[in-house]
Structure formats: structure tokens, C-alpha cells
Amino acid sequence: MTERPTYCVIDCRVSDPSQLKGDSLDDQEKLGRQFAERSGWIVAEVFKKPHSGTTKERQDFEEVKMYIRSRIHTDKPIKKYIIKCIDRATRAGYVVYERMKRELAELGVQMCDVYGIIQPERNTLEHLGVKYKWSEYYPSESAEMITAYNGEQEVRQILTRMIGAQIRYAREGWATRRAPDGMINKRFFYDGKDRVIRATDPERSHYWVKIFEMRAAGVDDNEIVKTINAMGYRTLTTRRWDRSNKEHPTVVGKKGGKLLTVKQLQRRITQTEYAGIVCESWTKHQPVRLREFNGLVSVDLFNRANRGKVFVKEHGDGSVEVLYNYSPWGKTKRLRNNPDYPWKVITCPFCTSELLGSAPRGKSGKHFPAYHCGGVKNGKRAHSGFRVRKADLEKCVKNYIDNLRFEKGFLEKLEEKLVRKYRSKEKDIVEMSSAISRSVSELKAEQAQKLKAFEVAESIITRKMLEREIEALDVQIKDAESKRGTIEVNEKGIKGFIRYAKRVMEHPAEILEKADDLQSRRALMSLFFEKTPTYHEILNGTPKLQPIFRLSEQFKVDKSLSLTSRGIEPRLTP
């Protein structure tokens, strides 16, 4: 009687698709076929897939088992599973290897390796024709265990060397990760070795510089997003791959190319790399200055744009510190609105905390309203209590703010100053307007192509899809054209701004008193003061005024605006 032939499968594995460019899989197949030929087995199928051996679940191994199951009840069942060596089956250790071997055994398949480490199962009572669970064993079990463990250990050593080197580079200030939008990674030759540094992306950096500048100027995030999108910003595009066939993955499209959103803007501008500083897990969340790159924006601009959410603090010795939810003047309390105490925004002269308002009852039964501070800051006793009568504080504040007046002739000089500033910024305004015009032209060209495609499309589904895309482009074009009109500041707009400023600033106390709530009053106070004043500063007349009022005081002295401590720039919109 002729002996039935033994059928086998060969499983070839590499860790990464990039290894497919070499001949590793072909080598494994060749060795496997030679081994099967020497053993007298017939190769039924060869599996060649890239898959990481460090994972505990191998999808490609599941495919092998499915193939084996499909042939169990045929006249050509699979009996042997051939691999080059144990670490080609898995690098996740002996436990995973033993499980794979057991799952094959349950299908009636023996695992074999080309190097001959794996030996077939033996029975110590075979000569008596009896077998028990305890009498069956694999003579090569200890060798298999050591080999599987060595494979796992090798992965650990390789990753330790690779990732360890990257961590050291990150702590030295070299670029190690994907560059944020607006920057690129660039090879740099340093001390005889190749390193990677951050560099400015010549095609996309201007978007992010403009974002930081506008946000630092106090422009609303929605307005920033509209302006940047009108200038032609779209998210980075990357290729979309179909990896169902891992041996030959194909490009099936692109992803990205979308408009900037407010959420994306708020998330990305907090990245300290825009200021030339890396602070992440590999640096133990300690800030490190990037090598050969000072950032797209200055640290000062980064801080003003982030408004204290992320704050980079530079020290005199050159070191830096990254602080979160930071304010150099301390945190502002969220106080309940009470129209009886409108000036609770004034701060305590001892701890600079916002004052409280109350009206305790005296022995006579009368209430005595007053502003006060309990002397507690951040949960700790800061000073003894401070208290001032409500009428005294409100009279003092009102008298001081009522005296904030522009000197005669100041607005005319301010207008001249703004016009000069406009001339210096005119180039930037023209460039932004030109960028929006180019974006509008590109959108119109894309819209024209879609219209042509719509005319020849026969499918109803295709026509509906094109119609939605055309409508979306039309909205983008209108938004861009509208934004172009708002940024084109001219001298007429400056004159309108001066007229508005004159109406607002002539009655500051009245404006502040009519504020609806504390939040609005805090915002209005920032128009007049660099820092919320304390009661003693109001009483002594020494609050830190905003530049516009300092200029007025200076004008009283020298009647000139030629020298100022801080420039005044026209807003994007009149």
C-alpha cells in the first residue's frame, strides 16, 4: 500500500513592509522549500506577509490557520508548518510561541524550523505501546524556550538602542519626532555625525506666524480662522494606503487638505516648538531649547498669543521654564456679580486679590457696606484684613477715572502716528490681501472644473456629490472675498477709528459703571490699565496706565509723539 504524501505550508515573515524591498521573504521561502524537499514533503502554500513579531496577536497567522482548517477534511490535509527559525514565528516570548505551537497541534499540524531546533513529540512508553499525558514530551522544549526568550530579548535590546538614542537626542535639543505644521525636519552635519534639526517650512510657515501675530493682538479665534483660511490655508495632505494586501500596498487617495478649525488652532499654538523649545515626555517634560532653530516666533509673541494657558518663562541664566494657566499677576477670582458692589475688580493693596463686598450689621442695627479683603490668598493667610467704606472707595475710583482726559491736540497727533504706522504695515496688509486674492482665484478655478464635471456627469449620485462640493466652494469664495475687504485698512478707516476712540474715551467712568457684569468690567478696565490697580494705587494716582493714556500724559509735557515705550498699531478692522 502506497504511503500518503505529507503536505506542508511555509510561513515567511518580516517585521516591516520596508523590508519587502530586500529579499528576506524570498530567502525564507527558498530555505523552507529546501527543507521540505529534504524531508519528502509537498509544499501546498507559501505565506509571505510583513507583520511585527512583537505583537501577541498575528493576523497573518490567523489566515494560515484558516487555510489549514479548509483542508482538514480533504484528501490533502496540512500536517507540517515550516518557518525559518523560532523568532520568525514570534518575538513576543515563549508564552506566545507555545500558544501558537499548541493551536497548530490542535489542528493536527506540527511546527518545524529549518534550523532543526524544534523536535517532534516523543513518548517515553512508546516501546510498550502505552502513552499518558506525562509520558509525552518534546525533547527540544528547553532549547525552544531559550531560543524564544532570546528572540524577545533581542527585540528589547534593539529597541533600547534605537529609542534610547532618540531620547538622548531629544534631551540635547535635536529634532526626533514629526515636525509641527509650519516647520520641517532637516538633516544637519554636526561633529562628524548626521543629526536632524527643525527648520522653517518656506511654503507654510507664514500661516502660523500670522496666526500668532493676530492672536497676540487680541483678534478673536473665529476671525483668525476665517482670515487664515481665506489666505489659502489647508491642512497637510498625506497619502491614504490600502494595506489589505500587505505585500503590495497601494495608494487609494489622499487625506487632509481641509480648512483650519478653531479647535485645531487652539490646540496647535500651545506647542512650545513654535518658540524654539521642546517640552515632552522624552525630556521628562522639562523645556529644552532646540538646536540651530530659534522657532517661528519669539518667546514673547508665543506668550502673548497663548494668553497664559502656556507660558514660557526665561531666566537670566538662559534657562527656560514652561508654566501652565499662568498669569504674572496671579489668578483672578470668579466672584458673584452684585450690582451694589460694581468695583470689586479693584484689588487689595497687600495681596492684589480682587476685593469682596459686604454690609455687616452694626450694634445699632444698621448695615455698613464696605469693600474688604480677608487676607487669604491661595488658601494661606497673606496679611491682616483690609477694609474700606463702600462710599469712600467708589468716590476715589470715580474721581480718578473721571480725570482721565486727552490733552487738547493729542488725538490729532495720535492720528498722525497711526498713519505712519499704517505706512510701515502697508506691505504686510498688501501681501495678505494678495494671498487671499490668489486663494480666491484657485477656488474659482477648482469650482469651474467641478462645474464642467457636473455638466458631463450622468450618474445622479455623482451629480449630487458635485453639487454639494460646488456649493461648499462658493461659500469659501464668498468668505474669502469678504475677509479681503475687512483687512484692507486705509487712512479713511483710521479716521473712523479716531472718531470712535474719542467717543468712547471721553467718558470712561460712565462706560465702566454701565458694564453688565464683573467679567465685562474687567475687560473694560484692561482698556485703561495695564494691570488691575489696587486701592492704594487709585488713591495715590499711581496705577499703570495703558500706552494710550501714558502718551496723553507725555503729550502734556513735550507736545510730541516721536518717542513712545510701546508702538500703537491699527487694528485689522476699522
183-324: CATH class: alpha beta
pLDDT at position 334 over 50: no
SS3 449: helix
pTM of the model: 0.55
**Over the stretch 204-219, which tens digit does the pLDDT of each residue have?**
998 999 999 888 877 8
Closest to 44 (Cα-Cα) out of 109, 140, 126, 132: 109
Contacts within 8 Å (CB) and 24+ apart, 60-68: 60/11, 60/13, 60/246, 61/11, 61/100, 64/9, 64/11, 65/103, 65/104, 65/107, 67/9, 68/9, 68/104, 68/107, 68/109
Helix or strand run (H / E) with residue 210: helix 205-216
Q: Do the Cβ atoms of 153 and 102 come closer than 8 Å?
A: no
pLDDT at position 200 over 90: yes
Q: What percent of the chain has pLDDT over 70?
A: 74
Averaged pLDDT, 434-452: 76
pLDDT at position 528 over 70: yes
Q: Considering the domain delimited by 6-152, tell me its CATH architecture.
A: 3-Layer(aba) Sandwich (3.40)
Count CB-CB contacts under 10 A for residue 493: 18
**Over the stretch 135-158, which tens digit does the pLDDT of each residue have?**
777 777 888 888 888 877 887 888
Q: Do the Cβ atoms of 467 and 480 come closer than 8 Å?
A: no
**Over the stretch 39-98, which tens digit does the pLDDT of each residue have?**
899 999 988 876 655 555 666 788 888 999 998 888 889 999 998 888 777 777 788 888
Take residue 152 and report the three cell numbers written for it.
524577545
